[in-house]
Amino acid sequence: SDLREQEERGELLQPLSFVLLVLCSVLLYFKVSLMDPGFVKPEEEAKAGEAEGRSLVMPQAAGDVQLRRCGYCLVKQPMRARHCQLCQHCVRRYDHHCPWIENCVGERNHPLFIAYLSVQLVVLLWGGHVAWSGLYFQQSWEWLQHNIFLLLSFFLIVIFTIVVLLLLVSHLYLISCNTTTWEFMSHHRISYLRHSELENPFDQGIILNLWRFFC
């Protein structure tokens, strides 16, 4: 009867929504961590290299850049691919190897990785709000003993929220520039960027960059 009354008053909607959001976050986590991030397969390297060369707009560097063969897995790397020594594969449009998901973030799972970070941020903000609403500060040792775990939970949530927020904002910025974390951090060591007259030859404007990435 109590549950029915709470349901009629709409009090069960918020906790149910929170549980569904957490479930969505968990499913996205496993999807991103278990899926193929865009491994370069030996049987696809020839046609992939040709298609990659046609699809990328790099007029300033087209004559200087040569596709190279990976020294580890011996496949011919398409442009913007990189070998990950932890995954033991070359990954298309390699961004970084994420220790949180124990997988590379690359061409295929990068959009889902952004979706995972976004959902995770909402869950953390919601959890932080719930933890904060349960705190009623009093200057007494007894109050601290009864609320120590709630305080610790709140501070942990704040720390993780800051980390996820910074990670999401930095990725959205790089996506809007049509560059990757690896290209941003190692610009001077990448041949197709060193030989380009433009600082970022892949940049086609914020709107088109976002459209090509998400759509």
Q: Which residues are catalytic?
A: 98
3-state SS, one letter per residue, for 60-79: CCCCCCCCCECCCCCCECCC
CA–CA dist 79, 53 (Å, integer): 8
**Cβ neighbours for 40, distance < 8 A, ≥ 6 positions apart:** 48, 70, 73, 75, 77, 78, 81, 89, 90, 91, 92
Within 134-189, where are the H helices?
Answer: 141-176, 181-185
Alpha helices in the chain, H assignment, sequence order? 2-8, 13-34, 45-55, 110-133, 141-176, 181-185, 191-194, 206-214
Q: How far apart are CA 215 and CA 197, in angstroms?
A: 28
